[in-house]
Structure 1
Amino acid sequence: MRVTSDLFVSALLRRVFSSGGYGAVVRRGAFEAGAVFVTSRDRLGETTLFGPAAQASYGEGRPEDRLFAELLRGDDEAVAARLAKEQRFDPDIWVVEIEAGSEAAAELLSITKP
C-alpha cells in the first residue's frame, strides 16, 4: 500500500532535518494523492527539480514506493516556470524545497534513470 502524499512529505522532511539539512513545504497539494515535486538547492546555488517518474518506470502491479526523475537542473526562474506549468496541468501538486545536509537529495528520494 502506498502512503499518502502528506505522510510522504512529512517523512521526507524528517529525513532532511535529521541529516542536518533544511526543508519546507512551498505548496501543499491534495492530502492523499497529490503529485510531489522536490526542488533541491546545492551549496553552489544550483537548483534541481525532481518530479514523479513516468509510469513506465514502475514494474508490473501496483507501485509500493514513489519514484522520482530529475526533470530540470538550472536557475530558480527556469524551475519556477516549470512548476507553474505543472500547476496549471494539475492544481493538486505538492512542492517541497530542500537543502540536503549530510545526505544528498539523490539518497533521500528513489530516483530512476531515464
Structure 2
Amino acid sequence: MRLRSDVWVAAYLRRCGAEGQGAVLRRRGAAEAGAIFVKVDGLDGRSALYEPAPQSMAVEPERGVERTFVRAHEPEWITTGEADKRLEREVSFDPDLWIIEVEDRDGRVWLDLAH
C-alpha cells in the first residue's frame, strides 16, 4: 500500500529539516493521492524541478522506496522563472498537485530518482 501524499510530504519536509535544508510547502494538493513536484532553488536565479517518474520508468520498487522522481527538464538547472512557469502549467492541468520548494545551492533533494 502506498503512503498518502500528505503523509509523504510531511515526512519529506521533516527529512529536509533534519538535513539542515530549508524546505517549504508552496501548494497543498489532494491528501490521498495528489502528484508531488519538488523545486530546488539554487538561490542564485537557477532552479531544478523534479516530478513523479512516469510509469514507463517504473521498476520493481525497492524496499522502503515509496515514490520515484525524475528531473522535469534536460539541463541540470533552468531559470527560476522557467521552473515557476512549468509549475503554473502543471497546476492548470492538475489542481490536486503538491509543490515543495527546497533551498540548496548544491541541488541536493533527498529523493529516490529513476534512471
Please give the TM-score of this superposition, normalised by the length of structure 2: 0.84
User: Does the CA contact (< 8 Å) of 2:53 and 2:114 recur in 1?
Assistant: yes
- 1:47 corresponds to: 47
Separation (CA, whole Å) in 2 of partners of 1:43 and 1:84: 20
Secondary structure of the 1:29 match is coil
Sequence identity of aligned pairs in percent?
A: 36
Distance in structure 2 (CA, Å) of the matches to 1:57 and 1:21: 28
- RMSD (Å) for aligned C-alpha atoms: 2.1
Give the structure 2 partner of residue 26 of structure 1. Answer: 26
TM-score of the pair, normalised by structure 1: 0.85
2:85 counterpart residue number: 81
Secondary structure (helix, strand or coil) at the match of 1:33 reads coil
Note if contact 1:68-1:109 (Cα within 8 Å) is conserved in structure 2. yes
Q: Contact (CA 8 Å) 1:5, 1:34: kept in 2 or not?
A: yes
Q: Deviations over 1:49-74 (max 9, x none)?
A: 0000010111369xx62110000331
Rounded Cα–Cα distance in structure 2 between residues aligned with 1:21 and 1:82? 23
* AA in 2 matched with 1:4: R
- Which aligned segments of 4 or more residues in structure 1 are displaced greater than 3 angstroms? 100-103
Superposed displacement of residue 6, structure 1: 0.4
Matches within 5 A, 1:1-114: 1-42=1-42, 44-59=44-59, 65-72=66-73, 73-100=77-104, 104-105=108-109, 108-113=110-115
**Gapped regions of structure 2 (runs ≥ 5):** none
- AA partner of residue 86 (structure 1): E
CA distance in 2, matches of 1:56, 1:12: 24
Does structure 2 retain, via aligned residues, the 8 Å contact 1:21–1:102? no
